[in-house]
Amino acid sequence: MTLLETITGPKDLRTLTVEQLGKLAQEIREAIITQVSATGGHLAPNLGVVELTLALHRVFDFGHDRLLFDVGHQCYPHKLITGRYPLLSKLRTRQGMAGFPEPSESPYDLFRVGHAGTGISTAVGMARGDSLNGEAYDPKTNPDGRRVVTIIGDASIVNGVAMEGLNGAGVLKRQFLVVLNDNGMSISKPQGAMAQYFDRVRVSHTYSDFKRGAKELLKHVPGGGMLREAYHRMGEMTKAAIAEDSWFEKFGLLTVGPIDGHDLPTLIEFLSEARDMDRPMVLHVKTIKGKGLDIAEQDATKFHSPKAFKVQRTEQLGCRVEMKSGGRSFTAAFGDALVDLMDRDAKVVTATAAMPDGTGVVRAIEKHPERSFDTGICESHAMDMMAGMAKTGLRPFFAVYSTFLQRAFDQAFQEVSLQGLSVRLCLDRAGLVGGDGAVHHGFCDIAILRTLPDAVLTAAIDEPSLKAALEFMRTWDGGLSSVRYPRDDCSQRFVNESCPPFELGKARLLTPGFADLDANRPDVAVLAFGTPAIAAMDAADRLALDYKVAVWDARFAKPIDAALVRALLSRQIPVLTLEDHTVIGGFGSAVIEAAQEMGLDASRVVRHGIPDHWIMQDSRSKQLAEVGLDASGIARMIRHTADPERNAPFVASVSELAEVSQPSGSR
């Protein structure tokens, strides 16, 4: 039995020697590498925080104290030592361990965390709440009270919300610890002036001198080696020696470090001192992203969240990595299409918020670096920057995950739409995203953007339609526009057919036999926004013997193809709307609103999309089956739309989750 297999909770760490903790760290790394290489997941960020996580749980009691993560993708070691090692083998599935902190799994996870920058603010809230409840740690009045710790890393300290959190933390009159996991990386290379500041700190003499001399410094402090004694007795002189002119001190936080984040004895010693401080402080920890796997250390961006992979080592070729291959992804298709736009139009510029690889913008950065920008984890800034560029006459394309778009909605409203500026949003990971689960689903972009006057919202069903949508957006200067596409491979169903250009507010008929509705009246008309159109075609094929199904690629959620809606409803043809988006305020709602505005009877319009409950982690295919957006579920909805009295609708409910999660559970 390995040492890791004996760990049932953090209390077990306190029985181990430092040498045993080092052995446990190696076993944790091996377990994470083995699992992620088999299934995919977040690798490099977790490998970098193993010793830090062990030291934190060794020193603090987070069954009582508070531990809040900022970027949740660095939580695997934390989960493995809080009783969830048995769940690792089914990582990122419904039956296993979520890839982000998940309170339903364990009381050691306080928030579901998938977005960066939030940890300090939520920790400030818990610190204030514990103080108001009389539960806060105080060395004199309540030594058994709760302490609060938050870990922030992967360059998310540059996020605007993190700045606001630091501003709030600096005025706390109690213990509060921010652990800055500084690995010199974001998801990719960090950007901006703050990243340059941390680079200077890491390469300066301060880090090496402090690492060598910290213990000696504190030995000579009157009253012993306690940081709190050093701070209170020697004041500003000692504070300057510990972290000279620290940026965090401007916020009112005592700062220590940077210290070596892989040196367990040093980590334990300094965390033990920080545990008993009576004021807010920052412990600046230097770690190596991907630590323990040389290929991940050398290319932390590639191994941030890889697909399944195999490592092959030979004397002739050295170390080679083979990653599980799939079809051509929408992300890759977008990256190529964007470069093509930039090749043809010198006014096209692009930006991403720390996701050049994840969004496909990396190709544009390589070929057109002067017109391509990575802002770091700063979606709000990126949106405003794009607005400024649009004001100068450029044609900006902002590539962002749908789930991160809402972080910049205020800017989309105030600085883009309100100004009538033409910023183009390229929404990757729209809809259900698979293993990342609820924290990353892009389920509300249509609903929030549809509220903006003059916004134009499009969706792609495959690579040719994505190219056509981007070309439409390139020349659309009437205001904010967007195109959404999923974390999936591009369908090849229509690859050999010509893709007509996008025309504002016009749908595309995918079943040409129904071009004349009077000559060939369908039993059901399916209006699908985005890739559900492909599944609808598969469903129509299955039902061909029983039902005449016409399928349209709606293309636009705003403006709706009002002429098509009128043509269908005036002929009393039942309409089924489909979308990989919540049914609340989405494409289907837009169809009903359009019908009512035209005075048409919308009672035969049936909406189908993501239901009003959280969809947890699993494969994207299983999630689509769970909510009935696979071919089987859509076929059931077509039958219901055609004859609602005889055919029950597809209803996704919590009671059905176990059934659909099985490999053979598609409906």
Q: Rounded CA gap, 256 and 279, in Å?
A: 13
What pLDDT, on a 0 to 100 scale, did the predictor assign at position 230?
46
Q: Tell me whether residue 390 is in a domain.
A: yes
Confidence of residue 218 (pLDDT cuts 50, 70, 90): very low
Average pLDDT over residues 515-522: 97
Q: Which two tokens stand for residue 497?
A: 């057919």
The three-class DSSP label of residue 129 is helix
Confidence of residue 203 (pLDDT cuts 50, 70, 90): very low
Q: Tell me whether residue 297 is in a domain.
A: no
Whether 14 and 131 map to the same domain: the answer is yes
Overall number of domains in the chain: 3
What pLDDT, on a 0 to 100 scale, did the predictor assign at position 128?
97
Q: Tell me whether residue 536 is in a domain.
A: yes
What pLDDT, on a 0 to 100 scale, did the predictor assign at position 250?
83
Q: How many CA atoms lie within 13 A of 390 on its CB side?
A: 29
Average pLDDT over residues 283-306: 86
Confidence of residue 273 (pLDDT cuts 50, 70, 90): confident
Whether 627 and 515 map to the same domain: the answer is yes
Confidence of residue 322 (pLDDT cuts 50, 70, 90): low
Token match 């809402």: residue?
A: 406
Count the Cβ atoms, other than its own, within 10 Å of residue 377: 29
Q: Is the pLDDT of residue 207 over 90?
A: no
Q: Which of 509, 432, 430, 424 is nearest to 469 (CA)?
A: 424
> Amino acid identity of 192?
G
Q: In the chain, what is the greatest distance between 2 CA atoms, to the nearest angstrom?
A: 96
Whether 524 and 631 map to the same domain: the answer is yes
Q: Rounded CA gap, 287 and 94, in Å?
A: 31
What pLDDT, on a 0 to 100 scale, did the predictor assign at position 302?
83
Q: Tell me whether residue 203 is in a domain.
A: yes
What interhelical angle do 205-219 and 227-242 show, nearest 10?
150
Whether 150 and 279 map to the same domain: the answer is yes
> Amino acid identity of 98?
A
Q: Is the pLDDT of residue 226 over 50?
A: no
Dihedral sign from CA coordinates of 213, 215, 219, 221: positive
Average pLDDT over residues 1-21: 95
What pLDDT, on a 0 to 100 scale, did the predictor assign at position 431?
97
Annotate 540-575 with b (16+ C-beta within 10 A) or e (fewer). beebeeebbbbbbbbbbbbebbeebbeebbeeebbb
| Percent of all residues in the chain with a pLDDT value above 90, rounded to a whole number | 75
Whether 447 and 531 map to the same domain: the answer is no
Q: Tell me whether residue 86 is in a domain.
A: yes
User: 20 CB contacts (<8 Å, ≥6 apart)?
Assistant: 3
Q: Tell me whether residue 324 is in a domain.
A: no
Which of 286, 318, 339 corresponds to the end of one domain? Answer: 286
Q: Is the pLDDT of residue 241 over 80?
A: no
Q: In what helix (H) or strand (E) does residue 323 lie, and over which residues does it extend?
A: strand 318-323
What is the total residue count of the chain?
Answer: 667
Q: Tell me whether residue 498 is in a domain.
A: no
Q: Rounded CA gap, 640 and 524, in Å?
A: 10
Confidence of residue 245 (pLDDT cuts 50, 70, 90): low
| More confidently predicted of 86 and 215 | 86
Average pLDDT over residues 318-340: 83
- Domain of 161, CATH number, reads 3.40.50.970
> Amino acid identity of 362?
V
Whether 149 and 244 map to the same domain: the answer is yes
> Rounded to two decimals, what is the model's pTM?
0.86
Whether 521 and 473 map to the same domain: the answer is no
The residues annotated with a catalytic role in the active site are 289, 379, 407
Q: Is the pLDDT of residue 162 over 70?
A: yes
Confidence of residue 654 (pLDDT cuts 50, 70, 90): very low
Phi, psi of 246, deg, nearest 5? -65, 140
Q: Rounded CA gap, 193 and 195, in Å?
A: 5
Which of 484, 517, 536 corresponds to the end of one domain? Answer: 484
Q: Tell me whether residue 321 is in a domain.
A: no
What pLDDT, on a 0 to 100 scale, did the predictor assign at position 215?
44
User: 410 CB contacts (<8 Å, ≥6 apart)?
Assistant: 380
Check if the beta carbon of residue 396 is closer than 8 Å to that of residue 351: yes
Whether 145 and 181 map to the same domain: the answer is yes
Whether 255 and 354 map to the same domain: the answer is no
Ranges 286-300, 430-444, 548-562: which has the least confidence: 286-300
Q: Rounded CA gap, 333 and 335, in Å?
A: 5
- Report the DSSP beta bridge partners of residue 322: 310
- Domain of 529, CATH number, reads 3.40.50.920
What pLDDT, on a 0 to 100 scale, did the predictor assign at position 190?
52
SS (H, E, C) 515-584: CCCCCCCCCEEEEEECCHHHHHHHHHHHCCCCCCEEEEECCEEECCCHHHHHHHHHCCCCEEEEEEEECC
What single DSSP character describes residue 260? E
Confidence of residue 257 (pLDDT cuts 50, 70, 90): confident
From residue 395, alpha-carbon distances to 158, 374, 470, 477 in Å are 26, 16, 12, 9
Q: Return the beta strands (E) in 158-305 as ranges.
A: 176-182, 254-260, 280-286
> Amino acid identity of 45?
P
Which of 286, 318, 347 corresponds to the end of one domain? Answer: 286
Domain of 397 in residue numbering reads as: 330-484
What pLDDT, on a 0 to 100 scale, did the predictor assign at position 120?
95
Whether 478 and 515 map to the same domain: the answer is no
Confidence of residue 290 (pLDDT cuts 50, 70, 90): confident
Whether 124 and 15 map to the same domain: the answer is yes
- Write the pLDDT tens digit of every residue in 383-442: 999 999 999 999 999 999 999 999 999 999 999 999 999 999 999 999 999 999 999 999
The three-class DSSP label of residue 422 is coil
Whether 38 and 186 map to the same domain: the answer is yes
